[in-house]
């Protein structure tokens, strides 16, 4: 009887010109460096199982990478409102990557919606700014 073997393969190279569907698998607050640590996993067969960790700097400001991430999962980015970061877990986003020329590391540089629109995206009406 022939032994069962599986070949170990490298993931295909990422392409900085396209977006990749990702599943948000974890969101944690980081004290040092200060930010929101987001774990993402590719959902495509091509990159399936490949994971990335992104540190989103705090505070969340309009136009920042953190704001783009939360907007991509459906949160309204309004100055003075609060966001519940843990509500991102289980949501899908599209992430775009760029490669650092010096280190060769791929980092997330942009987020876009993945096409789903949650009914409660994480912004709370009770946190709306008062006049």
12 within some domain: no
Residue corresponding to tokens 């990422």: 14
Domain count, the chain: 1
Eight-class DSSP state of 28? E
125 within some domain: no
Residue corresponding to tokens 């709306």: 128
pLDDT (tens, 9 = 90+) of the chain, 131 residues, equals 899 999 999 999 999 999 999 999 999 999 999 999 999 999 999 998 899 999 999 999 999 999 999 999 999 999 999 999 999 999 999 999 999 877 778 999 999 999 754 433 343 333 333 33
98 within some domain: yes
Determine if residue 16 is left, alpha or beta; phi over 0 gives left, psi from -120 to 50 gives alpha, anything else beta: alpha
Determine if residue 90 is left, alpha or beta; phi over 0 gives left, psi from -120 to 50 gives alpha, anything else beta: left
* Domain enclosing residue 60, as ranges: 19-115
2 within some domain: no
pTM of this prediction?
A: 0.81
């Amino acid at each position: 009887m022939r032994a069962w073997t599986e070949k170990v393969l490298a993931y295909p190279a990422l392409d900085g010109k396209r977006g990749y569907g990702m599943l948000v698998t974890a969101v944690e607050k980081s004290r040092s460096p200060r930010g929101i640590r987001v774990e993402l996993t590719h959902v495509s067969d091509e990159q399936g199982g490949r994971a990335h960790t992104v540190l989103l700097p705090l505070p969340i400001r309009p136009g920042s990478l953190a704001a783009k991430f939360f907007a991509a999962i459906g949160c309204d980015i309004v100055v003075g409102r609060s966001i519940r970061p843990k509500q991102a877990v289980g949501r899908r986003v599209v992430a775009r990557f760029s490669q650092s020329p010096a280190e060769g590391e791929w980092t997330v540089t942009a987020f876009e919606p993945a096409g789903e629109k949650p009914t409660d995206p994480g912004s709370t009406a009770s946190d709306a700014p008062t006049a």
